[in-house]
Chains A and B, each alone.
Chain A
Amino acid sequence: MASHWRHLVTPLIAGNPVTLQILGICSALAVTTSLQTALVMSAALTGVLVMSSAAISLIRHHIPNVIRLIVQIVIIASMVVVIDELLQAFAFAVSRQLSIFVGLIVTNCLVLGRAEAFAMRNPVWPSMLDGLGNGLGYSLVLVIVGSLRELFGQGTLLGVTVLKPVAEGGWFEPFGLMQLAPSGFFVIAALIWIIRAVRVEQVERAEHKVLRTRVPR
């Protein structure tokens, strides 16, 4: 039992799906202009990931190998439909903001990747933990990116004003770039940079060896 916890803990930072495997970047850019959408998206993806991992793992011995991708997609798509309907029922405003990105969880490489790489060859409980761990790892990145972009782009967090903008009599000049898509890249790149500066083992091996030679001046 305890040995299964690594499935949950490893994907948080050490094997984070976004910063290490660079998966799920599209949605991480698209839905992180505010913390609220980032949180909802995180919850939706984590839910889909846990449920689809469980379902796929449960029937993994009965899935014919040649059509396994079709089966996996069908299961994931069903989960996404469920989650989407739930969001529309109970959080209609947010679901409008997220627009098609909840629906696009179907094609999120992260979900299919975990199904293919883990759920297909592991029992249900580890698969669920793995799904949860990866979902939380993804959520962690989304929350960090969403917080930074909302805080510096609008001066608010979850809609509550933290840094008062000039327009409302404060001092803060909203950092317009933060609301643009490239800043999502910048923030994620900076995260990856920081993580790899600390965890040197994540740095890819250099293609060429730089030879440092100096001639006397």
Chain B
Amino acid sequence: MTTHEQLAAARPDFAAIAAWIPHGASVLDLGCGDGSLLGYLKSERDVCGYGVEISDAGIVACVQNGVNVIQNDLDSGLKDFESHSFDFVILSQTLQATRHTEPLIQEILRVGREGIVSFPNFGYWKNRLDVLLGNMPISKELPYQWYDTPNVHLCTFHDFEQLCAQLRVQILDRRVMSGRDEVQLLPNLLGSMAVYRFRLAPKSA
């Protein structure tokens, strides 16, 4: 397996995201970590990409990996980025850890033509079961203890879609996953993670 195949296996949302991105698109990846998604998109889609990352370790890793990275706290907004300057703004597995989540979604659609967001589903049946049995869920998608989690804004798919409707955000596409498999049936119960593609709803709609 090549590095990129390994990556796609480890992060099923990567392949889903890449499938939506046309060749040569401009991409801003928020909370880009070590830059693996951007590296993946660069090799698969030849994107012009930049990452935003807050951690020092992430900055060094991105620089090592030859990925453009801007050190910035997402919760202070995207003020370094001009309006409508990217085809896609991606927030991969980071939404739940942002403090100012609602303004950030608006910032994503100020800077990007379309937004792509992936996040774990708190409504996944195993999470519901954990809570029913009396404990906060801990899983591959939610690997933290309640007291050390960076996830301050966990939500279900329903919750996210409700917020989108409230913000006049039009959901263009959605891929619900359980591990590496795509889920069609009862997504808010059977899906552990989803990737959404969205844009601002056209004014006339």
**Does B associate with A?**
no
